Homo-oligomer: A and B are copies of this chain.
Amino acid sequence: MQAEERQKRIEEYLQQVEFASLEELAEQVEASVSTVRRDVGLLETGGSVRRTHGGARLVNPRTDEFVFNARDTHQLAEKEVIGRLCADLVLPGQTVIIDAGTTAFHVARYLEPKKPQIITNSLPVANLFASAMMVETIVTGGVLYPRLGVLVGPVAVETLGQMHADVAIMGAGGITGDGVFNSHALLIDIQRAMMRAARKVILCLDHTKFGRRTVARLCDLAEIDVLVTDAPVGPEIAPALDAAGIEVTHPRPDPSESPLPETR
């Protein structure tokens, strides 16, 4: 392979992973570590890449990761668990509506192998699938709500009104015996449209949301088909869930940590 081609491939690979060890790069471009080291040195002179001990890193790391990552850190582990669990409920090739919000986002991360058709109003979710060739993604239009990366407004609701899906994967701010709640009133219309458009509604909530009631009421418990969560539900809402006929899914309390495939 030509030196310039090799260098370009190194740069391209780094744009995907942001950081890589020399050994990793050497394997990628099928050259020795020495050669890669020299190449990275040249690229560094060019300014696009910076050398580090044992590897190289992109100077301008991709900025496309999302704002809400800060908020994302809350209950991260729980949301990962919920994400895996909920993705298991989706059958290959199904049409899936994905709500905005961090919990639904983590479900989306595990959805790619199912080759689903995605409908979403969440920019982060759309970004997730922007490079996935096997997933058809439909984005609702709408006004972009700053910080959250959610598309809102009548256009979004209208677009969803024309869609039909197998499953809607929803997040929420809280749940009590009286219903499901969300903290952003202006998302309510859209979430209701999502639930109307789907045959089956899956609500994903971590255990901290149990018994919590926030400003805006989203829907009755009866409209939820499945609740996916990370811990067994407490006695304060379990009867209400039962009465509403909601199927509850949570990881079996196995102390030996079921060894599911890791994040990437």
Q: Does chain B have a CB within 8 A of A252?
A: no
| B131 contacts A67, C-beta separation under 8 Å | yes
CB of A171, distance to nearest CB on chain B (Å): 18
- The count of residues in chain A whose C-beta lies closer than 8 Å to any C-beta of chain B is 57
Query: Taking each of A46, A141, A155, which has the highest tally of chain B beta carbons within 10 Å of its own beta carbon?
Result: A141
A132 neighbours in B (Cβ, 8 Å): 146
CA distance A32 to B146 in the complex (A): 34
- Nearest CB of B to A105, in Å: 12
Q: Which of A47-55, A217-225, A229-237 contacts B (4 or more CB under 8 A)?
A: A47-55
Q: Which 6 A-B pairs have the closest CB atoms?
A: A141-B141, A137-B144, A5-B19, A2-B55, A15-B70, A141-B159
* Residues of chain A having any CB pair with chain B under 8 Å: 2-5, 8, 11-12, 15-16, 18-21, 46, 48, 52-55, 57-58, 60, 62-64, 66-67, 69-72, 123-124, 126-127, 129-133, 136-144, 146-147, 149, 151, 155-156, 159, 264
